[in-house]
Each structure stands twice: as C-alpha cells, then as structure tokens.
Structure 1
C-alpha cells in the first residue's frame, strides 16, 4: 500500500503526489497509478483518479481535498451556491469521464501563461519548520506576483515537460528572475479579492448598484459599455490583463468588462470577474479615480 504524506496547509494537489514519490522512491507516474487503484482504476495516469484515491487513502472527504488543495474555490467563486454545489458533485463523480477531465484541470498547476512560482522566504521557512518545501496554492493564483505573507516578489520557474519536472519542488530551483509586481492600488485590491476567492470568503459585489454609483445608466448603452470597458482596461494595464488571461482580441470579447458587469455570473471565468470587481471596489473606496 502506498505511503501518503499528510498534506500541508494550502498545498497544491500535485505537490502532495511529488512528496509521496520522493518519500517512497517511486516515480511520479507510479504514484498516480497506485492511488488510482484505491478506487478501482487500474490503468490510468489521470490526476483526478489519483485525487479521489488520495482522499480515500487519507480517510478524509473528497470535498475537503477539493476545497483545500485545488483551485476549485477560486474557479467557482462567482457561481451561485446551487451551481457550485452541483459542480462539486459532478466533478467528484468517479463514474463519469467528463468529470475526471474537469477535476484534473482543477487539481493541476494553472495552464500557461502561469508557470510554477515560489517565495524564497516560504521555501526557507518550510524547510526549517517542516524539513521540506512544497508548492503553495496562493503563489499560483492568476495575477499573483508577490507573496501575500512575506510581501516579496515571487520567483517563476521555467515550465518543463520532462518527468523530472513533475518530480520537482520549490527547493530544487534557484531564485530565478522574479515576476514584476504591479505596484498599484488596483493590484492590491485584486490580490485581496483573489485570496478571498481561494479561501471561499469572497463577498460578491452588486455590479449594477456599483455602476449606478459611478453615474452609469443601467442597463449600459453601447456608449456606456465602451466607456466602462476602456476605464477598466486602462486601470488594469497590459501586464495585469496578460497575467489574468484577459487579453482576448476577438471582436465579441472586446467589451468583456461591460459584459461581465451586466451578464450572468456563470458566463465568465473568475479572472474576468475579479478584474471588474477589483476595479469597482477600488473606485468605490476612492483608491482609484474613475475615468469617464
């Protein structure tokens, strides 16, 4: 039976697998297979099957691992409660292949352009206190360029595709070129909201009321949509938008800030909600001057 180390606070799911592999001298793929056996999937390298196997192995509810060691809380932060509950039940259903795909996406490291990231102070503290470093979820949130605990720039690792990369931990990397933090009030607000989304404590904003407070007529006219969109994009800036994967140039997506503010919450990803939410929050708190 595979030995599984207990997860650390805010540890990403693949990091748990990597530590299990290192502690037992196994390969990363053999750990995936061994955990998959726990739920009767004998021949798979699927992260989600291993996820369910890990929960079984640790004797904890699957929902606990989902909430604490994947990006599920962040990904579903703006969904209505009933949608979120149905989605959780769906991705935890081990009998649907489509559910495996969704859970695998939630459990893995974020896709490009987000590389693995770490805080050199967290690495030092983890090695001192725990004897080893691990990958923190907080450091891998879209747009997160500074450690929320130590307030220093995060270091970014080059993304690799080899088996050795899957077996890596933060302590294996030198303090590589740090990401450039966005020194702005909007970035500070965005960071705070992102962390709230990850912890499940995000308080959603009534976009319509916030827009009315700024003098916009609801529903937004085409001119109002264009003005609001430009204000959000100008405040965010190119670097932030790229980090948040909000740079789509398709014709229908150019007014996405206005569409987010006036559309259904289920129609847009968390990153776009956060940019709009952070802008409206920063303006209402007088951290930003609205550009009308």
Structure 2
C-alpha cells in the first residue's frame, strides 16, 4: 500500500500478511538460515528456530521504537495504525516461545540453552541496550549465538564438533553484525567518519576470520577455492557499499549501505559453509543473495 492508502487496524481486527511481513522484515530472514548452516547444522530445525527468534526481534524492535518511529518513520506498521502495539508485542512473545520450544524439541538441552540465551540477548537489546554503547555488541552476540545454535543441530553419531571452527564462524558473523549495527545508527541522521571506520574495520575482521576458517577447515581444493571466492565476494559487496557511505554520509546513502550490508552476510555465510565442506548448501546461500535483494525492493530489510 502507498503512504496515502494505509489500512488502519480497528479493534479486534488482524493485520494482513503484507503488513506482518513488513513488521518482521520478512526478506531479511533469508539471512538467518545461513547462520545455522555456517554453524554446522545438518537439518532445518535450527534454522526454523532462528527465523522465529529473528522475526520476534523485529516485531519487538518496532514495539520498542513506536514513539521514535512516529516521528522519524511514520509509514512503519505501528505508527501508521496498521498494527497495534499490543499485537506487535504479542507476536514477538509468541515467536520467541516458538523458537525456544522448537530448539528444545529437536536439539535437546544444549539447543534449549543456546536458544534461551539468544532470546534473552534479543529482548535485552530491543528493550534496554539498543541506544547504549553496548548495543552493537549485544547485536553481534545475538548473531554469534545464532551461529552456535547451528552447532547443536549436528547429526548424532557424526564427526565430533570442531570448537575452533565454531568460534571462527561465530566470530566472523558477529564481527560483521557489529559493523552493520554501528553503521545503522546513522540511517536517519546520516553517517559519520567514526561509524564508517567501525563498519569497514568490522568487515575486514569478518573477512580475515572467514579466510582463516576456510584455509584451516576446507578439506578439498574445490572447497577451499569456493570458500575463498565467496569470502572475496562478501568483502567486495559489503566493503563497496560501506565505502560509498563513508564518502557520502547522507542518510539515504547510509541507509542503502546498511541494507546492502544486512543482505551481504549471505555470501559470508556461504563462504563459512563452504569451509565446512558443504558446497551445495554454500551454493544455495550464494544464490539467495540476488533473491533477497529483489525482495528488499518491496519490503525494506532495515
């Protein structure tokens, strides 16, 4: 719907699917299963749990930011009247419970512990830490835990966990997330040299950790070649967007860099997954990037 044709939610009514997709930033959830794939998950359950928790965080974010959005982004679902605050909070609560329950049912005690910790960080970020100096660190921790959640989904009887690989993959995604979160603070007011430097440094760290992981863990020449190629693709896509924001820190350029950086985690996840020898899953993640970019033209990931 256009800005002049919003559907106001009346008492007792339910928002339509398009509005809910906008509330939870549905296209950005395409970046979530890659966390668990990079963490070594073999089945879909950890990814489904992660998507639930991610969407919960997005709905909770808009609930917490409803007064700010009324001034800065009145077109968002809550200030435009298409979603009531209580509906957003209820959706966030239900999705959180679903994510934790799904993790526990399929991954046991370890998965329950990681999912619960992830949910706690998400709620703390949205309700208390977002606008503090600890905000980017909390968001980075959330995505790092999301990668570790994938490690709880390894098949039983398979090879033992490689804890160093787990730390490298979680660290790479966490570093990327830290930079994107720091840069996102200039979406409305504009960027700054400090934010751009932080984002570019974080991207460099993520690139380095991914390269170390690929070099250390890839068991074949093909896997190593794919991993290094995808790592370079990630650095180029995200670095280019962040350099553009550094040169022109206007809000529009910064917002575009944030959006491209959010989706740019897909080739990073693909590189990390290739490093684990799962080339088909890495190819699927790489192929999801152009799809996510097309969907982001309809529903903003930021």
Report which of the two structures shows the higher radius of gyration computed on alpha carbons. Answer: 1
TM-score after normalising by structure 1: 0.29
TM-score after normalising by structure 2: 0.28
Q: Which has the higher helix share?
A: 2
Q: Which has the higher contact order (CA 8 A, sep 6+)?
A: 2
